[in-house]
Structure formats: C-alpha cells, structure tokens
Structure 1
Amino acid sequence: MQSNMSFNRFSGCILRMFQDSLLFSDEPMPSKSPDNNKLDHIVAEARRSREQRNMTYREQALRIYPWVCGRCAREFTRANVQLLTVHHRDHNHDNNPANGSNWELLCVYCHENEHSRYLDNTGRNEASSGTRKTGATHNPFADLKALLKDKK
C-alpha cells in the first residue's frame, strides 16, 4: 500500500511537470513553412556528393567485385564494409582503370600484410643490387682497446 501511494505522488509530480511545459500549453505551435529554395539546395548538394562518392575508385570496386577479401575470403556486409579496402595490384595508386583490373578487395589486415611484404621485398632487392644504404658512421668503441691497454 505504501509503495502505491508513493507511485501516485511521483506520477502526479510528473503530470504537473508536463502540464507546465509547452506540450500542454494553450498557445498554438508557430507554423513555419519550409523554404523550398533551401530544401532544393540541400537535395542538390546531397545528389552531387553521392555522384562524387560513386566516382571514387573504392566505390567503383565495391560495385564491381563481391564484398569478400581476396586473401582470407572473409565476407563483408553493410555493417562492416568499412574494413574492406581496395588494393592496387601494381602498387601504383594512380593506375585506376575503369574495369578494375588493377584492383582487388582486401580486408585491412590482409592489406597491411600485403604492403609490408612488398616493402620487405623491395628492401631485399635494393640490398642485393649493390645500392646498400650506409648505416651509422660513428663507432663509440673505436679506441676501447687502447684505453684498456693503458689501464693494465
């Protein structure tokens, strides 16, 4: 019985708050007619941005290829398609043919792995071709043997 009375007091308090608010006021809501020019501008801007988005090579690749990683075969949906990336097979990001022959869809993990393998291979090729990069030129222990000889 006690909890029922406290609930009635609580609900009465809530009811008074709503009655005092604008929801139950006697004043009419201000009517505002939509500005057709502004709405037309917003719709035109949305269409323009959609067309620009559809022109990107990522959107083209997502339309051409199935949403599956080319390496690990993981499938993607609209919920996680942001994890699917476009990989350029020849590693030239300016080579974007309309038929998508230079692209493959990879998940972010396989894409990162592919680029690290590419960098590792190019590093090995530079070392074997004789164009080695020189390391540090300073040798901190150059005179160590002479210093130790003097102490004996």
Structure 2
Amino acid sequence: MSNWRRRPRPAKSAEEIAEITRRLKAGEAGRETYREKSLKLHGWICAKCGREFERENLHLLTVHHRDGNHNNNPPDGSNWENLCAYCHDDEHSRSLLGDYLAKED
C-alpha cells in the first residue's frame, strides 16, 4: 500500500476568493438558463391549471420539456411549457401510468 498523501492546498486570501467570485459571476451574467428564458417567454402562469405565480412562490413553477429531452432547448421555447409543481408531477405520472397499462395488454 502506498504511503503517498495529497498535499493540502494553501488557503486562499480574501482577495483571491473575491477575484474568483467576481470571475464566476461575470461568466454567469451573460447566460440565461432555459428556465429563465421560458419564464420570460411564457409568463409566470401554469399552462395546465392557469395558476398565476408571484416572486414568493415562483419556485413552484417548473419548466416541462414536451418531448422529454432536457437537452432540447430551442431558443423559441417550443419544447417548453411552464407547469406548476403539481401539474408537472401529474404530467409525468400520466406517462408512467400509460407505460404500465400498455404492458398489461
């Protein structure tokens, strides 16, 4: 068995940490997530039940990928629909139930 150990890295100074944080934030500034884009395109409303959302409960509004492919994020938002957490769960449970029932036939 090897006696090799990883050398601990020296602690970063407050200035180094601030610089790393600044660079990370600058890199994120120009990129919008597909969720942010979908909320702008489709509004803060559930496409299924029509519930409207405010900033306080916006975390309950999710983006559903219509084709099930989370990597298919066209800029026009055609593969997205905003669904509340309850409708999103319902949407996915319907496909699970459909798959289960299809196996019974």
User: Structure 1-normalised TM-score?
Assistant: 0.52
Distance 1:38 1:68, change over 3 A: same
Quick check: 1:124 aligned with 2:93? no
Match of 1:50 among 22, 29, 37: 29
- Percent pairwise identity: 45
Alignment of 1:1-152 (within 5 A): 42-52=21-31, 54=32, 56-128=33-105
- Tell me, in whole angstroms, the C-alpha distance in 1 between the residues paired with 2:98 and 2:59: 28
TM-superposed CA distance for 1:38, in Å, is: 7.0
Q: Unaligned regions of 5+ residues in structure 2, if any?
A: 1-14
Give the TM-score taking structure 2 as reference length.
Answer: 0.72
Greater Cα radius of gyration, structure 1 or 2: 1
Q: Distance in 1 between matches of 2:69 and 2:23?
A: 34
SS at match of 2:30: helix
Structure 2: distance between partners of 1:79 and 1:112: 21
CA RMSD of aligned residues (A): 2.1
| Aligned CA distance change for structure 1 residues 125 and 65 (closer, same or farther; 3 Å) | same
Amino acid at match of 2:67: D
